[in-house]
Structure 1
Amino acid sequence: MTQVVKVQGLQKMFGRFQALRDVTFTVDAGEVVGFIGPNGAGKSTTIRILLGIIKRDGGNATIFGRDVWKESLEIHKRISYVPGDVSLWGNLTGGEIIDLFMKLHGSVNKQKRDFLISRFELDPKKKAKAYSKGNRQKVGLIAALSVDSDLYIFDEPTSGLDPLMEQVFQEEVEKIKESGKSILLSSHILSEVERLADKVVIIRQGEIVETGTLDELRHLTRSAVTLATEGDVTEMAKVSGVHDFIDKDNQATFSADNQHINHILMEATKLGVKKFEAIPPTLEDLFMRHYEG
């Protein structure tokens, strides 16, 4: 599969502070990559390097096979970008700014623009200085989604949006995904990343600590199990892979190592299973695994 974004051994220093340490990941053609981590982890620094806004101190970074610093102008012709805090020209209307962004990109699809303005419930005739934080984000999103790009980079794109507009954004991103475009999505909303991403990259203190699909990463943490049996369910507390066992009226809850789920179920059948529920770990569980304590 073609690698649209390739980051290898990326490093960045701000004075004596090392913001990035050997950051390595890829975004393939048609892939949505969720880039997650708390404030200060290095997400925005990585994205700014990819956009050619700041220069890396080490490693390599390419988009469409082009160096992100030396060939940023050519790269920008094929990408759409939305930051977490969109700054606008106060005396222009939202509609004028959207049209300007689209012309700068080189493609104008008025039908799609009008559709998105309606979907995001934006008043395009208002001056930008009268917009709330959420409406400024809408302007950036509409401008980015209205043009045809090969790569979309979103850095906390739904910051300031209400849950209904977050839903609209997710639905529009799914359309882009279905059309085979690549997306790098940095977000604090883990449910958003879980819904949209094919692959997750978790960054902590400037270093990549996990990379993979959700299915690949789920082996790293335990499933939550609820079990009721005809026999004495407390027997299950002794089974390999069972942790944090709690029994109440012969219904047990416990966490289970995913590699032992089959063995646990086989042992449970010996007691006569009345109820067995196993809930796999969420992205939030995976995320917190790296940030607890």
Structure 2
Amino acid sequence: MGAIETEHLTKQFADLRGVHDLTLSVPVGEVFGLLGPSGAGKTTTLRMLLDLVRPTAGRVTVLGESPSSARVRARIGYVPADVVFESRESVLSLLRGLDRARGGRNAARMRTLADRLGLDTGRKVRTLSPGNRRRLALVQAFMHDPELLLLDEPASALNPAGRAELVSLIRQARSEGRTVLLCARQATEAWEVADRVGVLHEGRLVGVERVEQRTARRPPRRVQVHFADPVPRADFFGLPGVTELGLDGRVLWCMVDGPLDPLIKAAARHAVIDMIITEPTPSEALINRYYAATHQAFGSVA
């Protein structure tokens, strides 16, 4: 039994489907990156894992139990995408209250985390900047050493030093056998720490890969070709490995996954002024690949 198990998990919101038919298994001790743009279903998925939202259909277990179990909640650390703290007390007072609610055993860990993240515990909570609110959310999520960490956009509003410390905390959690589900729009942190990454698009899980597999492959390249005269789109449509094809008169752009030879031969039938080839980061390549695959397989999903 994995730390997270879902089978055909679905959440319908009125006329819109938040998550559709999500089947996912995250084993104990894994860092799993769940990537996708705003509205893809990442936050809805986390809320179902926390029993904050009940699924319309399907099954979910967290740490071997129903998410509604109080025992499970005590074993989870959660950082929401939108961090809201309205308390008038100090950061230290708030964290001490949370520690008491969890048994009062984590004061030393709390102070260590605050120091690592650069969080001033003497400040009033209501006066904190967005970056410091995020640091506070991270301290409260990590300080009781939970078995499972559910992190929704955890790097949001953090400066480079804070992001580096977040990566270090996630790596440490994995080394201690803890499980992390990291949701993000941008894949930078996920790519650094995740064992596997999956892409959600319009509520559907459209692909999962191990990071080392994707890193070992040469990522698709962005190609821009400038011609002396306008060229017909039909000459380039359907070429092997060519996706995201765009054409504006004398300028063609696309992604090429695989050999460039078919595109070069098609372009050579016209007068080429320039060809610009750039390689995206592995994380960009993964997202681009799966978004394109999703549109081909499903079209527009409501």
- TM normalised by structure 1 equals 0.77
List aligned pairs for 1:140-179, cutoff 5 A: 140-179=137-176
List aligned pairs for 1:16-35, cutoff 5 A: 16-35=15-34
SS at match of 2:3: strand
Distance 1:9 1:243 in 2: 32
Please say if 1:214 is aligned against 2:215.
Answer: no
Alpha-carbon offset, residue 106 of structure 1: 3.1
Alpha-carbon offset, residue 120 of structure 1: 1.4
Instruction: Pick one of 69, 92, 97 that aligns with 2:94.
Output: 97
CA distance change for structure 1 residues 100 and 89 in 2, over 3 Å: closer, same or farther?
A: farther
Q: Give yes or no for contact 1:202–1:209 (8 Å, CA) kept in 2.
A: yes
Q: Give yes or no for contact 1:221–1:286 (8 Å, CA) kept in 2.
A: no
Distance 1:36 1:198 in 2: 13
CA distance change for structure 1 residues 280 and 291 in 2, over 3 Å: closer, same or farther?
A: closer
Quick one: which amino acid aligns to residue 289 of structure 2?
R
List aligned pairs for 1:46-61, cutoff 5 A: 46-61=45-60
Q: Give yes or no for contact 1:25–1:201 (8 Å, CA) kept in 2.
A: no
Distance 1:209 1:30 in 2: 23
CA distance change for structure 1 residues 218 and 123 in 2, over 3 Å: closer, same or farther?
A: closer
Please give the per-residue CA displacement for 1:38-85, whole angstroms capped at 9, x wherever unaligned: 00000000100110001100000001221224x2x2210111111122
SS at match of 1:135: helix
Quick one: which amino acid aligns to residue 113 of structure 2?
L
CA distance change for structure 1 residues 280 and 179 in 2, over 3 Å: closer, same or farther?
A: farther
Q: Give yes or no for contact 1:5–1:61 (8 Å, CA) kept in 2.
A: yes
List aligned pairs for 1:1-293, cutoff 5 A: 2-69=1-68, 71=69, 73-106=70-103, 108-217=105-214, 222=219, 257=258, 282-291=282-291
Which stretches in structure 2 are left out of the alignment for 5+ residues?
222-239, 244-254, 260-278, 296-302
Q: Give yes or no for contact 1:243–1:256 (8 Å, CA) kept in 2.
A: yes
Distance 2:105 2:168 in 1: 22
Quick one: which amino acid aligns to residue 77 of structure 1?
A
Quick one: which amino acid aligns to residue 81 of structure 1?
Y
SS at match of 2:182: strand
Quick one: which amino acid aligns to residue 44 of structure 1?
T
SS at match of 1:66: coil
Distance 2:83 2:105 in 1: 21
Q: CA RMSD in A?
A: 2.8
Distance 1:106 1:87 in 2: 24
- TM normalised by structure 2 equals 0.75
Alpha-carbon offset, residue 217 of structure 1: 4.6
Quick one: which amino acid aligns to residue 72 of structure 2?
I
Instruction: Name the structure 2 match of 1:238.
Output: none
Identity across matched positions, percent: 27
Q: Give yes or no for contact 1:99–1:143 (8 Å, CA) kept in 2.
A: no
SS at match of 1:136: helix
Q: Give yes or no for contact 1:218–1:280 (8 Å, CA) kept in 2.
A: no
Distance 1:173 1:219 in 2: 23
Q: Give yes or no for contact 2:38–2:185 (8 Å, CA) kept in 1.
A: no
Bigger CA drift: 10-19 or 100-109? 100-109
Alpha-carbon offset, residue 135 of structure 1: 0.7
Distance 1:25 1:135 in 2: 33
SS at match of 2:134: helix
SS at match of 2:11: strand
SS at match of 1:10: strand
Which stretches in structure 1 are left out of the alignment for 5+ residues?
225-240, 245-253, 259-278
